[in-house]
Amino acid sequence: MTFLDSAVWGGKFCSDGWRHSPARQPVTEPATGDRLGTVGVATAEDVDRAAARAAETQRAWAATSPQRRAAVLRRAGELFTEHAAEIEDWLVREAGSVRSKAGFETGLAIGECFECAALPAHPQGEVLTSEDARWSLARRRPAGVVGVIAPFNFPLVLGLRSVAPALALGNAVLLKPDPRTAVSGGVVIARIFEEAGLPAGVLHLLPGDGAVGRAVVEAPEVRVVSFTGSTPVGRAIGERAGRLLKRAHLELGGNNALVVLPGADVARAASAGAFGSYLHQGQICMTTGRHIVHESLVDEYTAALAAKADALRVGDPAREDVALGPLIDRGQLERVHCIVTDSVAAGAKLAAGGEIDGAGYRATVLTGLTTDMPAWREEIFGPVAPVVSFSTTEEAARIVNDCEYGLSVGILGDVGTAMRLADRIDSGKVHINEQTVSDEPNAPFGGVKASGTGSRFGGPAANAEAFTETQWLTVRPDIADYPF
């Protein structure tokens, strides 16, 4: 039996052990439409039971020694390493990842676990001054039960980056993966922590649709909701959580800019731009969605980018050595094509691509855009690179900021100019002489404006803020004297 053998999880979800579900959904390979298995679907009632059980087990888990919690996280990292090849196969077949992206994602998962293994040993508060004769402390306490709602695009790491720190800091977790990636974004995580020695009832895997997600948000026991996904859904979750006086950490969409400064190496800049726009078929919140190129380089850059796009093969990454795999489903494929064709109809010009290719989409370059065209204004979530030019750094800053999103920006070229431009940009992340797609387990991650509620992932400070509550504690040597 393999680590992810369907005999363990087929037709089941995980809540205090693997449970058979009367409702099931197929696990489908987007490149071929083939069925890879079947997972059990949870109901709102299952979520309620899981939340109550999680609240029971959380107190004991929080009372577990820091060394024991760290050991579980370290063992999880070791298990990801041991089973990396099998996990990568699932990312390729279920999520449509090319091999290099699957390996990158699995590597991030390994790093996330080892990084979070250190969290239990980090300082859990601070000593405060007090005007009275007492000790005054601010200490971090686990939030309790954390609800994690994860997307399809990087299903493993975007679920794990909340699950792992939440567990390390003493919380219990309800995990709802995207239904399209319930194995690579859900079953894998549940199996890893099951084998790593996490006590039963601390982590619950609850695949399902929007009704299951709403139940996770609304369960009284859930005190923190961590959501990664689209801005419209994030707004709805934030509103619902606000009414219930719960914290919602929202990592949402992006329409990220890559600025190519005058004097930049065009060949290297085009390589960075192609990676930023076409990695994982552009289905990344950090994807380079806007190429803003100095007027002295724009023609040369566009030609170089188009040549790279034309050379990128589209196909089935499980059976071919390709650069671009399938989009996650037919609906997303048709949406991308509609944005491209609508923009061309409005006057944009195709320098490369613009075609559906089986279950995938050709790497596309668009020029001649105006800022009101859908390919410029919208988060496409496909392999499309719109290009415009600028004259001055002031104009570049204005173009970058003229966007509802603010997640990631790359600036290529002279470092001094890039530093001055970076100071004028509204973005959660800025990368100088790199493209827009970058993530490390120890680095704060998050966006501003419609990209979310800020950096709540990555590194001990962000994780502590996300998954703990601060409690004020005072201690006196004797009972104080009071005037009553």
The burial of 453, by beta-carbon neighbours within 10 Å (0-12 exposed, 13-18 middle, 19 or more buried), is given as: middle
352 membership: H or E segment, kind and range: strand 349-352
Taking residue 202's Cβ as centre, other Cβ atoms within 10 Å add up to 25
- In three-state form (DSSP H/G/I as H, E/B as E, the rest C), the secondary structure along 265-293 is CHHHHHHHHHHHHHHHHHCCCCCEEEEEE
Integer CA distances (angstroms), 50 to 57, 141, 425, 463, in order: 10, 22, 43, 24
Q: How many Å apart are CA 83 and CA 3, to the nearest integer?
A: 7
Q: How many Å apart are CA 410 and CA 268, to the nearest integer?
A: 13
Q: With beta carbons less than 8 A apart as the criterion, state whether 266 and 301 touch.
A: yes
Supply 228's token pair.
């990664």
Question: What stretches of 244-349 show up as alpha helix (H) in DSSP?
Answer: 266-278, 298-311, 330-345
Backbone torsion region of residue 353, taken as left when φ is above 0, otherwise alpha when ψ lies between -120 and 50, otherwise beta: left
Residues 6+ apart with CB under 8 A from 361: 281, 314, 324, 327, 333, 336, 337, 353, 355, 382, 383, 384
Question: For the CA atoms of the chain, what is the radius of gyration?
Answer: 24
CA quadruple 58, 154, 10, 191: dihedral sign: negative
Residues 6+ apart with CB under 8 A from 483: none
Tell me which amino acid residue 155 is.
Answer: P
Q: Which of 48, 52, 72 is nearest to 170 (CA)?
A: 72
Integer CA distances (angstroms), 152 to 140, 155, 162, 381, in order: 32, 5, 15, 12
Longest distance between any two alpha carbons in the chain, whole Å: 83
Catalytic entry in 14, 113, 116, 285: 285
To the query of whether residue 251 is one of the catalytic residues in this protein, the response is: yes
Q: How many Å apart are CA 381 and CA 282, to the nearest integer?
A: 5
Q: How many Å apart are CA 400 and CA 87, to the nearest integer?
A: 37
Q: With beta carbons less than 8 A apart as the criterion, state whether 275 and 437 touch.
A: yes
Question: HSE of 340 in the Cβ direction (CA atoms, 13 Å)?
Answer: 26
452 in helix, strand or coil?
A: strand
Catalytic entry in 116, 251, 379, 403: 251
Q: Could you give the residue numbers annotated as active site?
A: 251, 285
